[in-house]
């Protein structure tokens, strides 16, 4: 295994072989963007698998809960939601200082700037976008009360988030800087009625799914379940739409991770919202508010991460500025002309 790891690779090798995950010493290579949980590709020459663990401690309370993430994957294994199988969940922190889990490796592609050549055609691009929406529809139909009811309280889901999240960047007296305060107040004054309760992913975008590299366009697995919760399904739909790049709309920090959807053949956001409504029967009238809220949340989280200064990616103040501009535009778009 590769050196310079935040754990003893020899001990990990011994555990993996003892549990039947690997059959020989494995190489270990870091994969992913590195802004959340740490992800590694394991390869023993016969089988590949993926290890996921939190960053080195100390960790913010409630963050990077890989045990919760693995439990969600295990619960979804018997549903129609495409997810990788969990091969090992290690809650004992003796080896790494943190829990971790190992899941199956899916032989596909995680895409941001372009699709694999075999599906990079207008017809297949449309299929990819439709697959994203269909994954949401299938996920939101899962019976979350059968084993996942303790993931959150759906009542007051939007109000709690709008109250608690801005505290991350508030002054000790609770004051928010502008324009965060103005946007928070406008959102709080117009909170829509809940569209229901569902298991939501919280970060479902193009870069968080594994696509098949060959046609027809399809999702092999939905990844990165760290932010999953029980909440309003329109929050999930809005996040997917606001992080989906479309021509003519300025990119922000997260939609820039989905530049592939700028290509010809990818449908617009309105078409995707209509597809979701058709598949689920859900009233999507309140989507504009949800889109503004998702952009506001992203701006808050990026500002919080910028202040922490622990990841150079977040140091660019343009990330927060772009998300605030997108929030302002979304709020303006949902106002009724007088």
Give the pLDDT of residue 143. 96
The mean pLDDT value for 171-198 works out to 96
Question: End of a domain among 36, 71, 104?
Answer: 104
| 217 closest CA partner among 263, 253, 279 | 263
CATH number, domain of 236, equals 3.90.1200.10
How far apart are the C-alpha atoms of 291 and 242, rounded to whole Å?
6
Alpha helices (H) along the chain = 9-18, 66-76, 122-140, 157-164, 180-188, 233-242, 269-280, 287-308, 317-334
| 82 closest CA partner among 160, 45, 135 | 135
Give the pLDDT of residue 55. 79
Give the pLDDT of residue 56. 67
Residues 244/262, Cβ–Cβ less than 8 Å: no
Phi, then psi, of 332 in degrees rounded to 5: -65, -40
Give the pLDDT of residue 159. 96
Give the pLDDT of residue 33. 63
Question: End of a domain among 53, 79, 104?
Answer: 104
Per-residue model confidence as pLDDT tens digits over 97-130: 889 999 999 999 999 999 999 999 999 999 999 9
- If asked whether residues 171 and 88 sit together in one domain, one would say no
| pLDDT at 289 exceeding the cut of 90 | yes
| pLDDT at 65 exceeding the cut of 60 | yes
The mean pLDDT value for 175-181 works out to 97
The mean pLDDT value for 139-152 works out to 93
How far apart are the C-alpha atoms of 115 and 260, rounded to whole Å?
7
The mean pLDDT value for 327-334 works out to 93
Percent of the chain with pLDDT over 70: 94
Residue 130 lies in a domain: yes
The mean pLDDT value for 73-89 works out to 96
Per-residue model confidence as pLDDT tens digits over 1-59: 444 677 888 999 999 999 999 999 999 999 876 557 889 999 999 999 999 998 765 54
Residue keyed to tokens 């309105």: 270
Element (H, E) at 286: none
Give the pLDDT of residue 99. 93
Percent of the chain with pLDDT over 90: 85
CATH number, domain of 80, equals 3.30.200.20
Question: End of a domain among 104, 137, 157?
Answer: 104
- If asked whether residues 246 and 191 sit together in one domain, one would say yes
Per-residue model confidence as pLDDT tens digits over 238-259: 999 999 999 999 999 999 999 9
Sheet holding 38-43, edge to edge: 27-31, 38-43, 48-53, 100-104, 86-90
| pLDDT at 63 exceeding the cut of 60 | no
Query: What would the two tokens of residue 140 be?
Result: 């939101």
Q: pTM for the whole thing?
A: 0.92
- If asked whether residues 294 and 169 sit together in one domain, one would say yes
Degrees (nearest 5) of the Cα angle 226, 228, 231?
A: 155
| pLDDT at 335 exceeding the cut of 90 | no
Work out the pLDDT band at 337, boundaries 50, 70, 90. very low
Q: Which domain holds residue 46?
A: 9-104
| pLDDT at 338 exceeding the cut of 70 | no
The mean pLDDT value for 162-171 works out to 96
Residue 296 lies in a domain: yes
Residues 204/180, Cβ–Cβ less than 8 Å: no
Supply the DSSP string of 146-205, one letter for each residue: TT-GGG---TTHHHHHHHHGGGGG--TTSPPPTTHHHHHHHHHTTPPPP---EEE-S--S
Residue 215 DSSP one-character state? S
How far apart are the C-alpha atoms of 26 and 20, rounded to whole Å?
12
Residue 3 lies in a domain: no
How far apart are the C-alpha atoms of 113 and 257, rounded to whole Å?
7
The mean pLDDT value for 147-169 works out to 93
Mean pLDDT of the chain: 93
- If asked whether residues 191 and 153 sit together in one domain, one would say yes
């Amino acid at each position: 295994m590769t050196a310079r790891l935040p754990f003893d690779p020899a001990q990990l090798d011994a555990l993996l072989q003892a549990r039947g995950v690997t059959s020989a010493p494995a190489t270990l290579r870091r994969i992913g963007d590195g802004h959340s949980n740490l992800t590694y590709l394991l390869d023993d020459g016969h089988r590949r698998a993926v290890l996921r663990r939190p960053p080195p401690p100390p960790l913010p309370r409630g963050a990077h809960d890989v045990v919760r993430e693995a439990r969600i994957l295990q619960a979804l294994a018997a549903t129609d939601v495409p997810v990788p199988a969990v091969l090992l969940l290690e809650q004992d922190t003796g080896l790494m200082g943190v829990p971790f889990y190992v899941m199956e490796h899916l032989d596909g592609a995680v895409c941001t700037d372009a699709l694999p050549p075999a599906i990079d055609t207008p017809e297949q691009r449309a299929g990819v976008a439709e697959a994203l929406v269909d994954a949401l529809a299938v996920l939101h139909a899962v019976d979350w009360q059968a084993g996942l009811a303790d993931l959150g309280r759906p009542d007051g889901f939007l109000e709690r988030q709008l109250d608690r999240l801005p505290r991350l960047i508030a002054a000790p007296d609770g004051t928010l800087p502008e324009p965060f305060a103005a946007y928070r107040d406008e959102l709080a004054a117009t909170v829509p009625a809940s569209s229901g309760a569902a298991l939501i992913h919280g970060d479902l975008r193009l870069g968080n799914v594994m696509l098949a590299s060959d046609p027809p366009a399809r999702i092999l697995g939905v990844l990165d379940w760290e932010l999953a919760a029980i909440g309003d399904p329109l929050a999930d739909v809005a996040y997917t739409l606001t992080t989906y790049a479309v021509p003519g709309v300025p990119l922000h920090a997260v939609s820039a991770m989905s530049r592939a959807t700028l290509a010809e053949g990818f449908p617009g956001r309105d078409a995707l919202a209509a597809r979701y409504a058709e598949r689920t029967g859900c009233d999507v009238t309140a989507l504009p508010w949800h889109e503004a809220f998702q952009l506001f949340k992203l701006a808050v989280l990026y500002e919080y991460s910028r202040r922490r200064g622990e990841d150079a990616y977040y140091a660019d103040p343009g990330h927060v500025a772009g998300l605030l501009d997108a929030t302002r535009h979304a709020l303006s778009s949902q106002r009724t002309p007088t």
